[in-house]
Amino acid sequence: MALSIRNFGLPRNTNCFLLKNKHVANLPSQNSLRHVRGSRHGRILYRTEAKFRELLKSLNKHTENSVVNITEIPETIVKSANSNEPRNEKSTDPLIEAELADSQNFTLVVPQDVTHEDIVKRLEEKITPLKNFTYAKQLEKKYNKSLSMLRLFGEKLRQAKVPITIGSDRLPCPVELMLPSPIIEAYRNQDEFSIGTGIDGNPKTVGFYLEDPNDKTKTICVGPAELVIIKENHKKFAKDFERYIRNSPLAASTTHDDEGYWKSVKMKSNTDGDLMGIVSMRPQDLSDEQIAEEKRKLREYFTASGESYNLKSLYFQNWYDKKPLKYNFKPPEEEPCDRLFGERFLVEQMDHLRLYNSPESFFLPNTSIAALMYGTLQKMCRMHSSNSILDIYCGIGAASLVFSNRVKKCIGVDTCFKNVAASKLNALKNGIENVEFLMKMPESALHDINECHFHDDLIAVISPARAELSLPVIKFLRRCKHLSKIIYITTKPRLAVDNFVRLCKPAGSEGYLGKPFVPLFALPVDLLPQTEHYALAIVFQRF
């Protein structure tokens, strides 16, 4: 008798079967677990019905999303795994006999006694894995992660033979204590929720997927009601939108190639609690008249119900328009989001600034720590009136506007038209005149600045939102003779390590021109409390 178990987390070359980091069964020898080559599919061999029933009982209790196949296997395989003991030829368990009689390759789905608390716990483990730690412990864990990342940076510098002294702590530069977030719960100013099948089987459930939405295995969509990092009015809007689409005759779109319509819902909010909603829909075969009718229904429903959670504006987004319009330069009248009602912008207060945020513009998801981080970097970098700032991937211009009161001029660069438009509006509304925002590739902006002698003592602020800088941009940074410092802010430190090294490599190696940079200090920032994510700011300087 053999038990064949298929699970994507099944470890290779192990003496026990693991599921969700729990030991389900200890096996007597390495030969007892057999893997099918090229897959995570293994067989566990047992000779006696007693052992077999014991394992089944354990699996029924502990496993989730597993498929158990009960089959007869060749005698030679059993003997190779258990060469010293005889095999029971026939099972005396009536349940097993009935299943085997029905089919030689019968699939038994393990029953799952899953409660609401179990689902909530799984969601919290995915979204807020540090929730049960004290905040001091969270900061300690993330600080240690940042030290490990910086030690990796130091090791790569050593391997590249960069002439920088690495201390006995294996760090390439001094590291400040992690900057804590002033708010650790209900701090997120933007969220996006998917639509999928819930635990109750309803295909129109708004929330998060517990499994990868691109995976072809079954997924469960769970609402955000129990997550501590999400604001209460975000949760209310998500639940209200769920009620709306459940009453709609249009189906939800859960995969990229299905025939559904409702795709996702996104929301942004400010510190005053004002909310902006963006509904994404795939038009499929709907006519313009049918889409206009759906917009009218959305407008009527949320104009009335949105008052309870302070919904100030609602946008309708055609899903297919999202990517093409985001990366192509379009005039302002061709908006990918259609405003159904309310204000055009969401106004956020950050220190002394009023920032105008549009549906597609980018801003850090934690306003309180963003303000603190920019202020701390401004002081630690000792910016003064002779400095000019080049803000690469400026978003809505927050960094440029914060730094503008200390420096001669700020130039913000972004490839997204919406970000540049919002940045210009923010400068105008705040009465700041020593800033300029351009829709350019970073390479083009650096080339223009390198030809201009106005920008001596230049500081580059780099904060890539979605992807790290390309190699050509790094080489342009190295080539820019007016550049004295770089403030590199990344939310994905592991992906940025190679760029850190490229900034420090000696001139002439691998085509790098200009003086190399030296890491001056690092500042880890707790960007997203309750989660594993953090930001790392490293200041580089030329000497």
DSSP letters spanning 241-299: HHHHHHTSSSPB--STTSS--EEEEEEEE-TT--EEEEEEE--TT--HHHHHHHHHHHH
Q: Residue 452 CB: number of other CB atoms within 10 A?
A: 11
Q: Tell me the mean pLDDT in the region 342-350.
A: 94
Mean pLDDT value across residues 356-370: 92
d(C-alpha 53, C-alpha 70), whole Å: 12
Tell me: the pLDDT tens digits for 129-166?
Answer: 999 999 999 999 999 999 999 999 999 999 999 988 88
Percent of residues, the chain, with pLDDT higher than 70: 74
190-344: CATH class: mainly beta
User: How far is the C-alpha of 419 from the C-alpha of 421, rounded, in Å?
Assistant: 5
Supply the mean pLDDT for the chain: 80
- Residue ranges per domain, the chain? 1-59, 141-182+349-542, 190-344
Residue found by looking up tokens 């677990």 in the block: 33
94 vs 351: which has the higher pLDDT: 351
Q: What is the pLDDT of residue 155?
A: 95
**Does residue 48 carry a pLDDT above 70?**
no
From 12-26, 116-130, 510-524, the region with the lowest mean pLDDT: 12-26
**351 is annotated as contributing to ligand binding:** no
Same fold, 141-182+349-542 and 190-344: no
Tokens describing residue 304:
């009335």
Q: Which residue has the higher pLDDT, 313 or 329?
A: 313
Identify the residue with better confidence: 12 or 389.
389
**Closest by CA position to 480, among listed 382, 384, 392:** 392
- Rounded to an integer, the average pLDDT of 81-103 is 40
Q: Is the pLDDT of residue 328 over 80?
A: no
Q: Would you call 468 helix, strand, or coil by DSSP?
A: coil
* Range of weakest confidence among 179-183, 252-256, 267-271, 407-411: 252-256
Q: What pLDDT score does 454 carry? A: 59
Annotated binding residue 288? no
Express each pLDDT in 257-310 by its tens digit: 788 999 999 999 999 999 999 999 998 889 999 999 999 999 999 999 999 999
Give pLDDT, residue 262. 95
pLDDT score for 91 = 41
pLDDT above 90 (res 445): no
Question: Any idea which of 10-19, 214-223, 303-312, 318-327 has the lowest mean pLDDT?
Answer: 10-19
Question: Where is pLDDT greater, at 83 or 461?
Answer: 461
Helices (H), strands (E): how many in the chain? 14, 23
Give 137-206 as a 3 state SS string.
HHHHHHHHHHHHHHHHHHHHHHHCCCCCCCCCCCCCCCECCCECCCCCCCCCCEEEEEEECCCCCCCCEE
Question: CATH assignment of 141-182+349-542, given 3.40.50.150, 3.40.50.720, 2.30.110.10, 3.30.460.10?
Answer: 3.40.50.150
Weakest-pLDDT range from 428-437, 485-494, 503-512: 503-512
Q: What is the pTM of this model?
A: 0.74
Q: Does 470 score more than 60 pLDDT?
A: yes
